[in-house]
Structure 1
Amino acid sequence: MTSAAIADGFNLLPHRSRKRRALRRQRLAILAVASLAGCAAVGSVAGWDAFERMRLDDRRIALDATLRASNAALDEHARLLRVEAERRRAREAAQPLAVPRNRFLALLEALADAPPRTDVVLQRVTQRADEVELAALAPDSQTAARWLKRLENLRGVQSVEVVEMKRRAETRPSVKRDAVAPAIDRYEFTALVRYEAAGQKTVAAPAKASAKGEAPMNFRTSNKRNPQ
């Protein structure tokens, strides 16, 4: 009877086809929802990965900038250390050369500041490594000693010693013609101003003052007269 009804164009059980269509639509909906959920999950993961990559790139760029700044600071520090080391080496190399020059200039200033009426005539100044040789004329040994005594107080001077002194007669020009002027005895002396060696500490010098307030000088004299 059922087959007869279908053959005549009538479906006597329509609920079965409706169930099949509903089940098909439900499965399609579930599949679509699952697809959408999967796409959303994949998109969220891809978005998070892109965000993390951007954040890491920003941190890497910041770290690179910090490292570059640190390297520049280290390079500048190393350069300043090299410059300071070169300056220190230059000062150490120039100090031994500057000490004799400064001592010699101080000696010349002391000689220039001598009282005008000392009657001592400086003839020659010779500089050596740790000493200066002076050649001068004086009317007597006491005047020469007083003239040299001032040099003992200069900074760095270790001793002042007269190594040679000889008397010679000088004739002054006479005002009158055919008149013989009397000869004047003058003392020609050579003294050594010895300085302390580099790095040597100053040692307390012996008492320089005698009963008369004058320090004895070490003289080695020669009383030979120069031939006229």
Structure 2
Amino acid sequence: MSLSTGSGFTADSLGLDPIDDGTSVLLTGEDSDALEAVFYRLTAPRDDEKAVLLATDADGRSVKQSLGRAERGADDRAAVLTCAGPAQGDDVRTVEDVSDLTGLGMQFSTLLAEATGEVDDFRAGILLCSTIMSEVEDTRSVYRFLNSNFLSELRRSKALGVCAVDTSADIGSDVTSTITGMKTSFSAHVEVESAGRNRATLDVSGLPGNDGTVDVSW
């Protein structure tokens, strides 16, 4: 995979060519540390970009610190909706019940709409969607949440979206069939396999110029 230049969202820290506007990436893996490392490198906003992240397991401060480690200054260009920890000004907002997908979707959609009014290009992400699945009774409601409040916004915006799923989590249903179903709604799939401390192998499909495997480190 070459490090070409051009339009799109850069992901050179992962050895990927620029990713087209409007791309939605389903990010999966069994190792949570490797999964999160790749997630933050895909969603950390560059100059003149903004990030809107939904964090189900980490507080806003931790999310911003992780973004800053992935890309210098990215923490100052991000808005976080968190299900853990306190709110912190306008950039870190909280939701009390992760299983309330109606309320969660409304708050997330509000942040996404605000981002479209502030910048031309933004990155959006959900970490972790598997936590949401484990909290709801019907996994199909998560599909509806994604299509109504996440994927639809990506399709009409100059955005890159990343939805991370920990495949080792107990989501109350068969994770393999769930991932198979989710893949039909996303334009690309990246599977993350840990290759040791601070290393991973990415199995990439659906990203033009990037399909195949790539070894990454951080």
TM more than 0.5: no
Higher relative contact order (CA 8 A, sep 6+): 2
Greater fraction of residues in strand: 2
- What is the TM-score of this pair, normalised by structure 2? 0.22
Q: Report the TM-score, using the length of structure 1 for normalisation.
A: 0.22
Structure whose CA Rg is larger: 1
> When you count helix as a share of all residues, which structure comes out higher?
1
